[in-house]
Amino acid sequence: MSLEDVENIKKRIENFKKTLMELTEAPVMTETAEHKVREMSAEVVDSNPYSRLMALQRMGIVKNYEDIRKYTVVVVGVGGVGSVTAEMLTRCGIGKLILFDYDKVELANMNRLFYQPSQAGLSKVTAASMTLTKINPDVKIETYNTNITLTTQFEEFLNVLKTGGINGERVDLVLSCVDNYEARMTINTACNELGLKWFESGVSENAVCGHIQYIVPGESACFACAPPLVVASDIDEKTLKKDGVCAASLPTTMGVVAGLLVQNTLKKLLGFGTVSWYLGYNALSDFFPSMMIKPNPNCSDNFCLKQQSEFKNRVKEEPECTNVDPLEDVVTHENNEWGISLAEDEPIVSNNITELVETETSKTENVNKNNSIKSEEEYLSLNDGIEFAYQSGDQTAPNEESLVKETELSVDDLREQLSLL
């Protein structure tokens, strides 16, 4: 069999795979479309996929969880971290999810999460879209099999960020889950140009460290403000890769980083908790460093410098808060199904201030007196069934015979007397 015959067979196999996918995908889409949920409900029944998510609202964590359907999130890179990130957001019921990737699913990806061996050969965005739609048909999935680092495709990426929102507005958040610096710099440039907030994430080559970073153009450091050595030295990453050598990969580390990324995404979108500016993860010591990196006034990205200037102007224009009324204590669960209630302390009102002060002073003296004047019997009294493990020492005053009397003998004389005993 010639090489040409082998190539023809491979092409026929690929065509059969595509045809089989199309035939199996259509009925599944029709079937799942019937199960779409129009409104999120907090009703606790087995058929409600959102009951446990809506419980966050009932418990006072979020004000209105259903707001999550208003947001559009872009995930760039649907690999080890990005695919799990997309799955978590889909299960949380995000309104719209836009996926960018140009790679294909390989059997070498099976050590990670999400993808299945039967999806090998498909583009990652296609395979991800099929799986995510089955998980939650309520989420609108939009895919782009695009390499955003190419000049010809960067404009398409920029346009999606501008108009990819649910109602044609710009997207709400961008999540970078790529594995190379070139793609990170591309996302950084686009978000700086649009003033768009985004999260950067990554896992180290030894698979035991990772991080996420929340970037607000002008307010925090962008990716170009403090670039890695490879970027700062203008080294081509492709020249660093060697044949037969690959980076390590652990699904555990990628799952942790994806979890941190989605957790902070939810906090940012739904307005609860504190969003981490930078959060690292070291699996060897379970260390989670956190910090905030300020922007570099000498950043090489002109859009970043422009955003820094605009941010400073916004801060100057903000009025100072004066005469702020103190916040009143509000009972969060005034009415609840468990019947728990909080009783307020009634203040003691007295017409005579002097009388009130004397009363409080008298109470304090009585307490001190009661605490200090207690007989030994009161201290040593025990309840029935309890006894001391050992007898306390004799607390009575020592008699004269037990005291050591003064002597003019030297130490040597005392030692001599001891030796005779």
Characterize the bridge pairing of strands 72-76 and 96-100. Answer: parallel
Taking CB atoms within 8 Å and a gap of at least 24, the contacts of 311-320 are 311/217, 311/218, 311/219, 312/218
What would the two tokens of residue 113 be?
Answer: 């999460």
| 34 DSSP 8-state letter | T
CA–CA distances in Å: residue 408 to residues 339, 403, 414, 415, 416: 81, 16, 10, 14, 14
Q: Is 92 noted as a catalytic residue in this protein?
A: no
CA–CA distances in Å: residue 296 to residues 198, 222, 307: 18, 8, 11
Burial track 257-271 (b if 16+ CB lie within 10 A, e otherwise) = bbbbbbbbbbbbbbe
DSSP labels for 310-343? HHHHHHHHSPPP-SPPPPPP--TTSS-TT----P
In three-state form (DSSP H/G/I as H, E/B as E, the rest C), the secondary structure along 77-144 is CCCHHHHHHHHHHHHHCCCEEEEECCCECCHHHHHCCCCCHHHCCCEHHHHHHHHHHHHCCCCEEEEE
Catalytic option among 92, 225, 246, 299: 246
What would the two tokens of residue 210 be?
Answer: 């990772």
Active site residues: 246
